[in-house]
Amino acid sequence: MNSPDFKTYKSTVRAAIRATLAEAQPGSLDEAAFPAYSHRNPFINWLFWQRLRVVMNYVERSAPYQQVLDFGCGSGVLLPFLAKHSQSVLGLDVELLAFESMRKRINFPGNIEVRDATQTRLESLPAASFDLITALDVLEHVDDLSATLQNLVRLLKPGGRLVVSGPTENIFYKIGRRVAGREYSGAYHERGIPEVRRALAKLARVETIARLYPPVVLFDIFVGKA
């Protein structure tokens, strides 16, 4: 995504997030990363959006797609972009408050469907359904990582790709969370991204997309290829 398009996309989504946060109960949207995407500190805001831009650039290189799954879609921050490059997009999340709040402010494209992941289980979806699956900053939260990854890989078409990002949970990341504010200080991750990478490597060929930013790596972004 070129710089002007990304700047417009970011500005539109960030404005909607800030308006939603202003009306929401304190803490109710923290898990959907609303505070990070709208943070007033320029560096923290840039870092989180840069992680998203890296994923967008990678996804765009192999577009268009037929079917895409955004696992852990949260507020839907990535959904309009995916919809532009795919015939249909399915978003799944265990909590839809963030998405429903954003839908009041953003006109999401008609080729997007968002479902409750507690009702539409991964194992209920047909195998080899998706050209692309994105799982950004979500796999560190799931209870059963092994089963989740097995199901995600099962859903990939031959040649399909599972794009993953997550925090390193190293000492610099933890310090950064405390500096960022109280919304980031909780211990709510089941694991760090190195464990996710190792588990995925048992099921698919894993390649690095980017590590943000050496020598102090806060986020790891990689792809598992079916």
pLDDT of residue 32: 56
Q: Would you give the end-to-end CA distance of the chain in angstroms?
A: 25
Distance CA 199, CA 145 (A): 8
Nearest of 30, 24, 45, 25 to residue 104 by alpha carbon: 24
Nearest of 133, 93, 129, 134 to residue 114 by alpha carbon: 93
Residue 45 pLDDT greater than 90, yes or no: no
Averaged confidence pLDDT in the chain: 88
pLDDT of residue 195: 94
Could you tell me if 84 and 59 are in contact, meaning their C-beta atoms sit under 8 angstroms apart? Answer: no
**Segment 148-171 mean pLDDT:** 91
* Band (170; pLDDT cuts 50, 70, 90): low
132-149 pLDDT, tens digit each: 999 999 999 999 999 999
List the 86-93 sheet strands across, edge first.
112-116, 86-93, 65-71, 130-136, 156-167, 219-225, 205-212
Beta bridge partners of 178: none
For the whole model, what pTM was predicted? 0.89
CATH code, 3-225: 3.40.50.150
Domain ranges within the chain, ordered by starting residue? 3-225
